[in-house]
Structure 1
Amino acid sequence: MLGVIAAALGGPEVLQVTELPEPQAGSGQVVVRVRAVCVHPADVAATTGEIPRGPDKPPFLPGWDIAGEVAAVGPDTADFRVGDRVAGMIPWYQTRGAPGGYAELVAVDAGWLVPLPDELDFVPAATVPLNAQTAHQGLALVSRAMLPPGSSILVTGASGGVGGFVTQLAAQGGYRVLAQACDGDEQWVRDLGAHEVIARSADLAAVGPVAAVFDAVPIGLAAAAAAENRGVVVATRPTPALVPSRGVRQDMQLIHLDRELLADLVGQVAAGRLRTRVAATMPLTEAADAHRRVLAGGLRGKLVLTVGA
């Protein structure tokens, strides 16, 4: 079978299409015939050695989020049958690329997968697990502050994968959402439920004060400046500490796989209650070019690698 490995640490040029042994399903595992795998900034960071808890050394397979069909079922695996449509998240922070999703076939724990409703195609399904779970879990950190109903939350990167889900979930949860959008994405972000759309070039310190900031980019201090005293800031990567006297609580959202949550989020996307966006699809064999496009920026939606028919 074909796979795309990071043969060394470096830029997109280190990604190599190579022939790999077909995986076998162990106890509690299934082999997934991958039809779509999302390209995340985390995949790019993994190949450059910038992701926390990354692989000790190459070669390894990038790829967190997959959608496809069950090709084989291992012993003691009762949840799925051959032919079932599935979507899932490889907890890459644990596997360190063994396995990763950039392959035609991948052996994964059955607990990493959820059934994929017929209403949802493989490509959009592959954009959901990492982004939507990060958004939901990060908002749970915000909710710990017991903010009054209707409190304002500033979302940076609302045009992106995580930020887009945060905007939708926060609006559905009763927050007043101030969403920062890239130029040209204002209407998309409004359609996600944002109450106010803020330009990417805006001085965020002048936007607040808001009760909470979900810094999905993250921007860091410039975004946190919008938080009111004793407010809360949640970021998706480490950011500089704030002045303690303001009493702002800082949290960092690190993804953890929650199968029940993932099934619910995939179901919501399938039912049209949550929206996702795909910028383009590319063949798996063009993974290096996909990484170049992610690095270049300016994408409106996620890049998804497709495999087979």
Structure 2
Amino acid sequence: MASLLDSVDQRTQLVGENRLEILMFRLHGRQLFAINVFKVQEVVRLPKLTLIPQRHPHMCGVITLRGKTIPVIDLAQAIGMRPLLHNENSTVIVTEYNRSIQAFLIGSVERIVNLNWENIQPPPRTAGRQHYLTAITNVDDSIVEIIDVEKVLAEIVPMNTKISAEKLSNPLLAKARGREVLIIDDSMVALHQLTDALGQLGMIVHKATDGLKGLQQLQLWADQGVVLTDKLLMVVTDAEMPEMDGYRLTTEIRHDPRLRDLYVVMHTSLSGSFNAAMVEKVGCDNFLSKFQPDRLADVVQERLQRDEV
């Protein structure tokens, strides 16, 4: 299973090209699920599982892997399916989201598939598990459901969206009140978190659920004669989204004379120096790992300071 992830260096070349690779797997039955390979650290057989008292119902326990204690989450149960049976032959996907490491118990691993974000679509309104999906795609005539892992994790460990009183007391942040911001993310959880935090600053929030919709909204305002740098204090975008990712969105913004001076912040659960390098490559003004309300306030402050110069 480790060989599935041997080509990480090659996959880094996909980012910025509106492409991604997904790791496909099954939970129960024939339905295929997936997550972005960039979130995956390794795929292994389930090590010895240690039960912990008063654990969340969706947590199987914890494992020790390479000297780290990692919680194991039953992904089937977490998205509303019946729990998975587990033994020494069970498989776990070890992932990193929002600066934390966790393992997901699954049924079986299928394979990695290279796709274009344009082939990743929002889930239909009739999808039974829409609440836990960010997108769907089609591979070899089979529907693949891409799971909203941020929502799964937020239900197990609720994310704090409150900006500290110390940050809010900064007089410069008072100038954010009434200013407008466009936030772009395919996760309803992430949109809620950003809206809540920015609302504490008194900001007016516009939303889009993927990069293409975000770009179309910006272009519509520009077509109407709106000066975008006057209207919007900033654009905050996720990296991974259906139809157009945040890297391509930023590139499109920089190539449009009407949009190119917008202040763009990349807001993503992907972490590490690689993301920082990609942000610089495509021309973002700032980078923010999910979810840090105080750091978000700092980014707003840094943007406001530009107006003070």
Normalising by the smaller structure, the TM-score range is: 0.3 to 0.5
Larger relative CO (CA 8 A, sep 6+): 1 or 2?
A: 1
Structure holding more helix per residue: 2
TM-score calculated relative to the size of structure 1:
0.36
TM-score calculated relative to the size of structure 2:
0.36
